[in-house]
Chain A
Amino acid sequence: MGSGERYRSGSELPLTGNLDECREEMTELFGETKDLRMEDLQIGQKQAMLLYLLTITDAQLLTERVLQPIGRLPVEQSVASVDEFEQLCAKMLGGSAHVILHTNQDAVQKILEGFSVIVMEGVSAAVAIFTEGGGKRGIQEPTTQTIVKGPKDGFVEDLRTNLSLLRKRIRNHKLRIETFTIGTDTGTNVCLIYMKGIANEGIVEEARKRLQDIRTNAVFETGNIEEFIADKTITPFPTVYSTERPDAVSAHLVSGKAAIVVDGTPFVITLPTVFNDFMIAPEDYYQSFMMGSFLRLIRYLSFMFALMLPSLYVSVITYHHELIPTPLLISVISQREGVPFPAVVEAFLMEVTFEILREAGVRMPRAVGGTISIVGGLVIGQAAVEAGIISNTMVIVVALTAISSFVAPYYIFSISSRLLRFGLIVLGGVFGLYGVFLGLMVMVGHLCGLRSFGVPYLAPIAPFIMKDQKDIFIRLPVWASKLRPQMLKPDSAVKQQESESPSPPPVYPSERRGKRKSKGDQP
């Protein structure tokens, strides 16, 4: 069990078995907090004390796992040594998760994790029984990555539920879960999950090391972890993949990636991540490979749209009139007639307006949701065009760009195109197409330099890996790809050796037999 930097409360001293001393120490640590319960118990002949935090303890579990077994103990039961205590616990609490503790520190830790701790008079050990409770959200459909066909469950805020969702999908002894406690103030449980023997050992080791090296006070979301463990680069592109979908995480795990689950958030991150991961939706694999491939091409196209469309429009309109077919040019000119701003300013204005609208749409309370579409779409969009401030074509360009940016199956990925778009608009307005393409070149150069846990970000396109091409721009049928992604250098490369799609039998056997028989019978 690894443990990150954490404020360790309580003395390193062993438990003495003196109840008053223990009570004093706990009172000193927790102070007057209302939810710490220290209840006196009688276990057989001995005095004992039950400690738990009321707010995170399930009363029913407490009764079932602690109070009822104690009540069933014979009255003459007496415990004198640690050995006897351990035996008693094994007998009394067998089947419910319990841990024998020897120091005050451990006891405090367990109480904070939602365990109930029993300290016994005269025994220099304590037992912690898992009784965690508290509010939990039920499993629901993920809100950020919805699909039409495929599993509908999503991760929730509870770590154990999330782990169970993964375990249930991958029923394999190779699935390993390692726990870390991160955050000196929050002491959050963080799990590193991988498939032993499939995931590259080096990558897992690197992830483990990076998790252990995190020095922070609070972790509330995988995003907090993400910034600590991502490779040291300033980039608008995400270098880890975070998702709400257990099926996506499971697929990543069996392809040789590692996952990090953080208690308290439904987002799980997987790593290493390459550019292409963000163009893949889990649904690609749940529907026909032709449709999956087609949608993937659409996604690449719409990424390019989201990134470049306004800047291309601006540069063509401002510098390269000869590139537009004459009828289109005439119609563009007639629409731009009387627009007071240069195309760059116009594009900037509209893009910023759109970003404001989007931000408002995300943040505002649901109840006023309709307002945004009326104010945004009608008032700003239509009125601006009718007032002659913005041209119609620009509205079309901005709208297409906006819609394209929502196509990315992974919402966070559109951040990169949203940010870079503005840079490209400026370049397009200043240098024309020349500037836009210079900008793209710098962007591609930057992408080539990115790495995620040692895997090049543009793999398997740059560096080119032929074996991985079956699942990049197009998805071949599942039986056609026999290897796990080679760019991840998995410890076991082959995923399905003897896989082939069945060809139909020459003639349907029973039919043939039937016919022969009837013929033979006749004479």
Chain B
Amino acid sequence: MSKYSTEELSAMVEPTRYHRKLFVDEDIFDLEMERIYGRAWIYIGHESQVKNPGDYVTTRIGVKNPVVMVRDGNGKDIHVLHNRCGHKGATVVNRECGNVTRFRCNFHGWTFRTDGKLVGTPHATGYQDCGFDRNNPQYNMPGVSRQGEYRGFIFASLSEEGPELETFLGEVKSSFDNMVERSPEGRLELVGKGFRYVKNSNWKAFMDNLDDAMHPMVTHQSVGEACEDYLREMGEVSDPKLKKIVEILNPFISSYEFFDEMGVTTCAYGNGWTGGEASIHSEYDEIPGYRKLLVEAYGEEKARRILSVNRHNTIVYPCMTLKGAIQNIRVVRPVSVNKSIIESYSFRPVGAPEELLQRNILYSNLVNSPASLVGNDDAEMYERLQLGLQDEAGDWMDTHRYLNRDKEVKPGVFTAPGTSDLSFRNMYKAWKEYMMQEAA
């Protein structure tokens, strides 16, 4: 029985504010894992991580559900399985990635096909005439309730109910499309290892921050100023390496007007994005030869359209964000009410000049690394939320900005000036919808 009734949960989100308990109450965190992470489409991995038959990667959904994504022995299908032995329940796969013909539990040697079916139980005579049925699916490594794929990105849901993946993604499919089409071959490959940045804050602190365009010029003011101080001392900047650094860091302190102009868009299930043609990525120098490759692949008009989409952060609520323009995704793995791990992965746009990937990597080092000048200040502010919100002196977090200034540009799709709190309101509306549904 939940500590909170649906009425109480409902009362914690109002149109222009949400309750501090959402960030500090452990019971609410547990309920979120059950009702949000246990239902929504959660990002698992990218198909390029499991290219060959038997390739696998492990991760988890929410806190309590270790899973493994594996390419079937047939080389075609990808399965997302609960990483749990059907015998006594131990996790079966314990490396981050690898390749297998069969999964074998190291406890009592039960073996499983790459689709999770139990195929081997050692010393089989012990199971004769005792009612044990090896074909009973309860002994398999079970597949997740639902899995789906969009343009190479694999998602899973622990609930039988709910929208199909493409319905869930809705308008944000276009952000994935743009990211994929930035490759002249329409293909992305995940590059090596990603950052895993431990932030001492609730998972929603990260999600809230993504499309919060009122924070960069304050939280990251020092980064822009440090750049400017140095450039002033240097005089004219001609060094191409320094130019690349500056074009990545300086837009973080763009004006309020710039971020307003950039716009914010929201759609169903808490999803949305900031930026459009303009964003912190839109003034990057053109990579030599890149446009030509896109024109050859897609034609003049479509190449122009692909390069004109420069969205900032696209939100796939509750677990991930992507940046099409720089082929990067970040994934939130909640740990506890006040701890989360933010994973960051860069993708190689196959067929594009190497210099494009190298700039994406530079961006990621500068912004997403645990040693990032930008990310350190975000992490610090999230932590301060955790500290301040414990205090019962006030109960609410405010979301009034640009209320009633949204335009409905398509049914269910809204836009507003970029510094609107629209994205917050949209995510907490989704939060409420998930949390109001009690367990089936």
A binds B: no
B positions within 8 Å CB-CB of A: none
